[in-house]
């Protein structure tokens, strides 16, 4: 990663998107925001973010399928994901972390920074 890292925030709550966007931008992290799976998948394919923060309660008519639905629609190499909420089955993507709701933003921001830091270190390792 040479440019500043980017995070795609997918959450139906405008407040959550606003808080994360403000906090992450202050830390030099670029943010992309989407409120729906379809739009988020388009952005993921086009912008190739380094990390995706996905609200598991995005589609209340289909709880439990949000992650799978997004991954199917995004149809691209899956970056690490931070999933907000709870899941009955562990996600197929091994690079997913789950943060239960309600969460503290401080801890969530730190987790995002740690993951991005790890990705940055891994990308600088010699092949």
Residue ranges that bind another protein, judged by CB under 8 A: 12-16, 18-19, 22-23, 26, 35-39, 59-62, 101-106
Nearest residue (CB) to another protein, 15 versus 122: 15
Shortest distance (Å) from residue 65 CB to another protein: 12
CB closer to another protein, 60 vs 124: 60
Tokens of 57: 């309660």
Q: Which residues contact 31 (CB under 8 A, 6 or more apart)?
A: 6, 7, 8, 9, 20, 21, 24, 25
Which CB atom, from 2 or from 104, has the smaller least distance to another protein? 104
Are 11 and 55 in contact by the 8 Å Cβ rule? The answer is: yes
């Amino acid at each position: 990663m040479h440019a500043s890292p980017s995070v795609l925030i997918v959450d139906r709550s405008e407040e959550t998107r606003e808080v994360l966007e403000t906090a992450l931008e202050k830390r030099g992290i670029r943010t992309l925001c989407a409120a729906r799976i379809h739009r988020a998948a388009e952005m993921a394919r086009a912008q190739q973010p380094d990390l995706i923060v996905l609200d598991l309660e995005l589609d209340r008519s289909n709880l439990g399928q949000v992650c799978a639905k997004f991954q199917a629609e995004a149809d691209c190499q899956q970056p690490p994901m931070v999933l907000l909420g709870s899941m009955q089955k562990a996600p197929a993507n091994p690079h997913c972390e789950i943060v239960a709701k309600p969460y503290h933003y401080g801890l969530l921001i730190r987790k995002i920074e740690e993951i991005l830091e790890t990705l940055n270190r891994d990308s600088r390792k010699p092949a």
